[in-house]
Amino acid sequence: MRAWTALFKKDFKLTRTAFLIGLVMNVLFVILTIYIGTFAGDTLYMFIPLAVAVVFHILYIPIIVFISIKAEANQLHLWLHNPQPGSTLLISKIVNGLLMMVISLLMLYAMTGLLIIPKFNLIEAYWTDTWIAGLLIFPHIIIVSVTAGVWVLFLWSLFQFLKFKIGRWSWIAVIGALILPGWINVLFQSTKIYSFIAKWGEITYHFPTFSLDPIQMFAGEYLYSLILIVGVFILTAWIIDNKVEV
């Protein structure tokens, strides 16, 4: 555990500048929201910048992971010769990005709450739906961001493996590894097999004051996505442990 903690601290140091920049950007989004509020008056349009900032967090973990592995690439031989297995090295980077992302989102949500208090009359009729939507959006953004972060790790490890095998063509192979699985997955999702695997455990979200049709999801879809991303992560760790050389 002590070795992993040291590894995590190192990953934090590699990305803390990006983390601090992200917090500053959150403050800038809040300032922009306040500025727009002086012109928008009593409308919900003033909260658009904060909504955009929250959605942009989908890119948070992949960016943090990319910055971290880019720094590792400068001394790849040291990283690969770490006694810890590849899965441990990779989990440290994902957890580091996840922790930073959660802190950033909590900061945004807290500042949004402070801005909503004096404008509560604007959303009072929508408060229940707004509160529930916020609780649902938070974990979904995290899930998408973690998934994207794992794919960044996979594509990077694949590139490190291929660059000594096929040279400059490795970028084409990496792009293909990004596009082809997505295309196959889209085709698979149109089959009856996918419906059998994923279309169970129906979950319906109702937002009557938002004038939206009920949003339907399935527990099977979440499980399917989890299995896929765990599989990609395991494959990435195997490539790091067995195929990447310096």
| Residues 245, 160: Cα–Cα separation, whole Å | 8
Residues 6+ away with beta carbon under 8 Å from 202: 216, 217, 218, 219
Given a contact cutoff of 8 angstroms between Cβ atoms, the answer to whether 225 and 202 are in contact is no
Task: Write down the pLDDT at residue 208.
Answer: 65
What does the pLDDT read at residue 102? 94
Contact between 162 and 77 (Cβ < 8 Å): no
Tens digit of each residue's pLDDT (9 = 90 or more) over 180-224: 888 888 898 888 888 888 888 888 777 766 666 677 888 888 999
7-43: per-residue pLDDT in tens? 888 899 999 999 999 999 999 998 888 888 777 666 6
Q: Minimal CA–CA distance to 24: which of 44, 59, 48, 53?
A: 53
Helices (H), 124-165: 127-162
First vs last C-alpha separation in the chain:
27
pLDDT at 229: 93
- Name the 3-class secondary structure at 41: coil
The tokens of 175 are what?
């792009």
All structural domains of the chain with their residue ranges: 2-242
Q: What pLDDT does residue 62 have? A: 96
Q: Which helix (DSSP H) or strand (DSSP E) does residue 65 occupy?
A: helix 60-73
Percent of the chain as helix, strand, coil, to the nearest 5: 85, 5, 15
C-beta of residue 222 within 8 angstroms of C-beta of residue 197: no
pLDDT in tens, 33-78: 888 877 766 666 777 888 889 889 999 999 999 999 988 877 777 7
